Chains A and B, each alone.
Chain A
Amino acid sequence: MRREGSALSGVGTVVLKELADNLTSTRMRLLEVLIFVTGASAAYATIGAVRDQISEYPFVFLLIFTAAHEPLPSFVAFLGFLIPIVAIALGFDSVNSEFNRRTMSRILAQPIYRDALLIGKFLAGLITLTVVLSALWLLVIGLGILLLGLPPNTDEVLRGFAFLVAAIAYGGVWLALAMLFSVVFRSAATAALAGLAVWLMFAFFWQMVVPIVTMAVAPPDPDDPFSALRTIDVGMDISRISPNTLFSEATLAFLSPTTRALGPVLSSQVEGSIRGTPLPLADSLAMVWPQLTALLASVILLFVIAYVLFQRQEVRA
């Protein structure tokens, strides 16, 4: 059966309203301060350390993102950690709060479809995330120019930009997850806890779970040398269920141009290659294309599940 009228009428209005809410909320201010202070301090500490390598390494600018300076972790590690928290904070109460404030039925009684509300909320969250990450990214690059005293070259800018896009896609996964929980759970606290539980699992426990599961699924056979390789491959695939793994692999390829492979490599495969030479950006991109596609697919999948559940939900509280 067909419905008449556009599912998208009202999306723009919802986006503007939600964007204003996101950008002015106290919650967002706190997170912005947190992410800016930690991110900028990590970058700042790193810049001091990488200054000596200016003459030796062609991609010094990218080192700002990836190099860790004890005791601080690297900027990328910080982001891998903080982006999910920001995304969960943006999304965990987006749908259920409308029910709890009893605004849902009043808003849906306006001439819009439910689609507009959910799409608008998601887009507003994604835009907020993009604004925060882009600002941080520019801040770090600016710091780099000031403190290193040299501008980034074209390749570094492009690689940095690719990294930014990957970071936004990674944030999108967590945003879609948080919104899914906000549809499923009527209580905002439950939705937030569920989101944080998933985040905690992937951020800390996944790497412990992976070897156990791998050993159960594909134990290496001592008589077959290739079975060990298979075990490693299966382990990597399981580990890639986690968006954190996908994100860190993507950033590794973009920000460390010398990375030539993400999995085990046989010596026959690297025969003839020159160790330590950087790959062109297109090749790095090709290497992590599956990771980027997987991140994007997760965003779409999670959003669609949230969408279907939301469409079927009863409006009455």
Chain B
Amino acid sequence: MSDPIIVTERLTKVYGGAVAVDHLDLSIDQGEVFGLLGPNGAGKTTTILMMLGLTEPTSGRARVAGFDPLRQPLEVKRRVGYMPDQVGFYDNLSGIVNLRYTARLAGIPLREIDGRIEQALQRVGLTHAGSQAVKTYSRGMRQRLAIAEILMKQASVAILDEPTGGLDPQATREFLELIRSLKHDGMTILLSSHLLDLVQSVCDRVALFNAGRLGLIGRVNDLLRDVLGGSHVIRVEAAGHDLDRAIAAVPGVKNVAVEEGLFRVEATDDLRPAIARAVVEAGGNLTTIAAGQTSLEDVYTRYFEGVRDAA
């Protein structure tokens, strides 16, 4: 592990009495894909803006790529590529002209600009659309253009805020491929999302955010084990009387949730044969029995249920 590239220490932001980010301590290593996870309004975007020096923290400090975003914002912004939530471009200009503008703002040497833009567009698969006006672009193409901008800057850190917001499944899949390829290049990626499957599939580590506080942080698998206590989830579809009681009676079953003929069973082990037997013995018509994959979604739900109960 190398030195952390993004560090926050007791980072706090208060908006007129409302605490958006509350004493956040975070450390992200070079080359890592890190996911900020949390419901809308949890303080993810505010955290990102403070890292970029676009919003002043109320207290605490951050360090990005070795620089203080508050005092040396230009140094930070030179090294960090940012894709905002619902990224926008100048619609009447072409993709290339849009990138040229940011390239000049970024201070890229003039003779390198066109070469870099061409490479970046090729990388994200927009070569054919480069000279079209951005207003003809689809949502997915705009997101990829934003990635091209980050590539063009040759940023060492990419911060992506809700990168797949509003994308269809196909575009999301392509976009995730793109993120993986960036990681492969050694880029550090911080992405925020409320979509769990997205974070689960690309992130090395995730942090769960709630109401400006860091709830949980760690590797995806560790979180699954810690929060869910290593339990197995089994989905059972069956019709019959009092099946939930029959299933609950199987040794090792911890919890049974019923939802219109669908039973969500939590057990200490993979108890599919025992449960199937119990259902049949109770006179039920078993249609499906499957091991449900435990996902970050369960962690999320469980964690926030816990938070709500505690409150």
Contacts and interface: CB of A to CB of B under 8 A. Distances in A.
Contact of B77 (A1, A17, A111): A111
Interface residues of B, number: 33
**Band of interface residues on A:** 20 to 34
B131 interface: no
Given A9-B107, A315-B49, A113 B146 contact: no
* Majority SS at the chain B contact face: mixed
Interface string B80-115: 111110111111000000000110111100000000
Given A109-B80, A109-B84, A5 B101 contact: no
Contact of B88 (A5, A103, A111): A103
Interface string A74-113: 0000000000000000000000000001110111111111
A3 interface: yes
Interface in A93-143: 101-103, 105-113
A314 interface: yes
Interface stretch (B65-73, B202-210, B218-226, B281-289): B65-73
A316 B55 CA distance: 9
A11 to B, nearest CB: 10
Given A106-B82, A106-B146, A111-B106, A316 B88 contact: no
A316 B49 contact: yes
A9 B78 CA distance: 13
Interface in A2-60: 2-5, 9-10, 13-14, 17
A14 B80 CA distance: 21
Nearest to A3: B71
Interface string B185-210: 00000000000000000000000000
Nearest to B82: A109
Contacts of B49: 105, 315-316
Contacts of B77: 109-112
Interface in A265-286: none
A111 B89 contact: no
Given A106-B82, A111-B78, A111-B105, A3 B87 contact: no
A160 B192 CA distance: 60
B74 to A, nearest CB: 4
Contacts of B106: 110-111
Given A102-B88, A105-B54, A110 B102 contact: yes
Given A9-B107, A316-B49, A107 B72 contact: no
A112 B74 contact: yes
B75 interface: yes
A106 B54 contact: no
A103 B71 contact: no
Output the residue of A14, A17, A106 with the most chain B CB within 10 A: A106
A106 B71 contact: no
B171 to A, nearest CB: 18
B62 interface: no
B88 A106 contact: yes
17 contacts: A3-B72, A3-B73, A4-B71, A4-B72, A4-B74, A13-B101, A13-B104, A101-B88, A105-B84, A106-B83, A106-B84, A109-B54, A110-B102, A110-B105, A111-B73, A111-B74, A111-B105
